[in-house]
Amino acid sequence: MRAVVVGSGIAGLTAALAAAEGGAEVTLVTKAAADAGSTAHAQGGIAAVTATSDSPDAHFDDTLTAGAGLNDPAAVRVLVDAGGETIRALVAAGVPFDRDDAGELRRGLEAAHSAPRVLHAGGDATGAAIEAALLARLADSDVIVREHTFLADLVLREGRVTGVDVVDASGRRERIDADAVVLATGGAGQLYAHTTNPSVATGDGIAAAIRAGAAVADLEFVQFHPTAFDGEDPFLVSEAVRGEGAVLRDASGRRFAFDAHPDGELAPRDVVARAIARQSAVQPGIPVVLDATDLGGAEALAARFPTIDRALRARGIDWSTTPVPVTPAAHYLMGGVLTDLDGRTSVPGLFAVGETARTGVHGANRLASNSLLEGAVFGARAAAALLAEPARAAMFPVSERSTPAAPASDAPAFSRARLQQLLWDHAGLERDEAGLAHAASVIAAWRRAAPVARSLPEQNTAAQEDANLLLVAEHLVAAARRRTVSVGAHFRRDGAPVAAAIAKEAEAC
């Protein structure tokens, strides 16, 4: 059987390698270099139970708590129970996880985890180490790899996906036939003015799935990482830095995070991100800072967080003596293409894995370092499923359809920067109906004026990305309007239900 995997992060690589090992003829398509996606940028680590003092049940409970109880318990159970086996497979693949002097895996504590269970490689280069190991395996496999090849659209025949239309670096359009297609294109962080995501995260797979009629869910749940570097050329400052003891301080030097939650800097990400945003608003022009000056000095920081250390020193900051200015940034999309526990979507022949998929694992807010684990676990499950029954679709209740918004008559001319600022302002860390309605009307005007993605010139990849971002934005804003109470990463500041939802969330945490 023939399979096409679109995307080359941990989810796509795992799916492609497993499918090839199972006997499939696999073509892997990725729109930039194979290591250009989010996996290679993942600093925080991979969460899995590898110690006898920990348990899958504890990991299960922590995941549900962070997700505000909106997770699919069956999906979470699959995830946590596969943790140990997944780590063993990654070790066998050559991932050099950090170990202590006795040779045991070194486990870190991160926000909302009840035990140290987060594994790292190269300090804060975990994603890069995993990516490198899997790409080395890919080079030794029979998988055909097509870099710099853009997914233009899915091919449908008689209601099922039978391949992909792609555009190569020269602008040539080509059709690749397949018995099954796996979307592993990552999220849509480029919807927002501030993001930790690489430039390739433009929602291409989600948009293609929507055009094919696949069900999507939970797009309103966008996780904003609390700590991105606040300055030129921003980048992620890992959760693990706070896990090691770094603290957040306001303009007066006070640790303000405890005002928002009893766990302070180690509260769930959405709580910490909103706390930073609110504090920044009351001290305009003076950034909130992350203070790591008590973590053992320059040598210790360079050894534990070499990637962050190099990035900060390149910007002239010695963080062993100077706190780091930070700001929240769009980081991870909990929603996506709706799938079952084996990656099947509602369209026969189409699978989705990783950040592209809505497996139900994350609920309303992803637990730190569960993303790499999800990609590996569900990538492998999707490969097994497509080898067994490539054409079977998952069955879901009919999705609630969005009412088209009335286009704004005075919408400004479209640009990606304007779209990013629109969503940052009105569908970001805090939302309300007035702002969401405004965003919906502007997006509707832009969508009406924009050409259909499949009719764009093949050489104009940026315009195709813009069309994909607009389509995903439309569905994201509509989902945010439908969910009128606050829960997890979706915070509505309007109306009485908000206070009750906040209280319930704090109680659950």
Q: Which residues are catalytic?
A: 269
Contact 241, 300 (CB under 8 A): no
How many CB atoms are located within 10 Å of the residue 488 CB? 28
Residue 269 sits at φ, ψ, to 5 deg, of -55, -40
Contact 453, 462 (CB under 8 A): no
Distance CA 474, CA 188 (A): 12
Under DSSP, the state recorded for 362 is S
Distance CA 310, CA 290 (A): 17
Q: Which helix (H) or strand (E) holds 301?
A: helix 298-304
Pull the structure tokens for residue 231.
């300055």
Torsion angle in degrees (nearest 10) through CA of 353, 354, 355, 361: 90
Provide the b/e sequence for 153-181 (b: ≥16 CB within 10 Å). bbbbeeebbbbbbbbeeeeeeeebebbbb
Burial of 134 (0-12, 13-18, 19+ CB in 10 A): buried
Distance CA 48, CA 95 (A): 15
C-alpha distances out from residue 494 to 142, 346, 397, 431, Å: 54, 34, 29, 8
Under DSSP, the state recorded for 93 is T
Distance CA 431, CA 423 (A): 10
Residue 336 sits at φ, ψ, to 5 deg, of 155, -150
Distance CA 352, CA 359 (A): 9
Helix (H, G, I), strand (E, B) or coil at 343: coil
- Work out the angle at residue 298's Cα, subtended by the Cα atoms of residues 234 and 244, and round it to the nearest 5 degrees: 70
Q: Secondary structure of 52-85 in the HEC alphabet?
A: CCCCHHHHHHHHHHHCCCCCCHHHHHHHHHCHHH
How many CB atoms are located within 10 Å of the residue 380 CB? 23
